[in-house]
Amino acid sequence: MRRLLSLSCTLLFTGFIACSKGGGGQASSSALTTLDNSSKGGTEAQTPLGGLEYSSPTSDYKRGTPIQPNLPGLVSGTSPAYSITPALPAGLQLDPVSGIISGTPTEQLSPARDFTVTASNGIGSTAVTISIQVTVAQATTARYTANPVRLAVGAVSANPVRIELQGPLAFTVSPPLPAGLSLDPSTGLISGTPTEAGPQATYEITISGPAQPIIVSLSLEVAVALSPPANLTYTMPQAQYPMGLPIAPKCFPG
């Protein structure tokens, strides 16, 4: 009959297993295949994510203006990676490690749109919806350099507009300007040489662009050009009158 071999094994502090054969056999040892991560200085174990939220869940940004960074917060969980759908407006970005949304928006987004931010790690994920809108700041002033304007027939004129609004812009006027004057549809410049006289009237220039239209009222009059007096003469350029007697009126040619 075959003899049964028995082994007695002991876990040593060195991480090896020492075994001895039954019946006083010689001891042998073999390495452990796995050790506790903490004894090797391994990475921290991940925990489930939960309760994702942002410091500003609803945001109204201005185009061209840097935003206040939007910070995430987690109720629970470790080692998240962040992603967002759909893509943020041009100029804004989400840091995939910190989850911070930052940047300077360069395109308009109106009305507001919802975005889903997801935080995930190896054992799960959590998501939150935030709302973002990007608008264009309205002009604080829109005016023409000269207003009111009084022009003379035949006189060259140029009247530029001063406006605190980023383009592209489009300009229209109502009613039509006096004959000889024109409005540049892209710059708002009113220029030309008026050819007809007209009374003072109000013209409305509408400025259209990314924001709501702005209307500027301009008062304009075209007057007949007057010539200065010239060649004044009298019938008697030299006269001698007796003292104390009335003189006959002398007229210059009409």
- The string of pLDDT tens digits covering residues 7-21 is 444 444 334 344 444
Going by pLDDT thresholds of 50, 70 and 90, the confidence category of residue 33 is very low
pLDDT tens-digit profile of 194-245? 999 999 999 999 888 766 678 888 999 999 876 777 777 777 778 788 888 8
CATH class of this structure's domain 53-135: mainly beta
Q: Determine the pLDDT at residue 88.
A: 97
Q: Determine the pLDDT at residue 135.
A: 85
Q: Determine the pLDDT at residue 253.
A: 54
Mean pLDDT lowest among 44-48, 67-71, 247-251 = 247-251
**Residue 173 pLDDT > 90:** yes
Domain residue spans of the chain: 1-32, 53-135, 142-223
SS (H, E, C) the chain: CCCCCCEEEEECCCCEEEEEECCCCCCEEEECCCCCHHHHCCCCCCCCCECCEECCCEEEEECCCCCCCECEECCECCCCEEEEECCCCCCEEECCCCCCEEECCCCCEEEEEEEEEEEEECCEEEEEEEEEEEECCCCCCEEECCCCEEEECCCCEEECEEECCCCCCEEEEECCCCCCEEECCCCCCEEECCCCCEEEEEEEEEEECCCCCEEEEEEEEEECCCCCCCCCCCCCCCCCCCCCCCCCCCCCCC
Q: Determine the pLDDT at residue 138.
A: 60
Domains 53-135 and 142-223 share a fold: yes
Going by pLDDT thresholds of 50, 70 and 90, the confidence category of residue 69 is very high
Considering the segment(s) 142-223 as one domain, its CATH architecture is Sandwich (2.60)
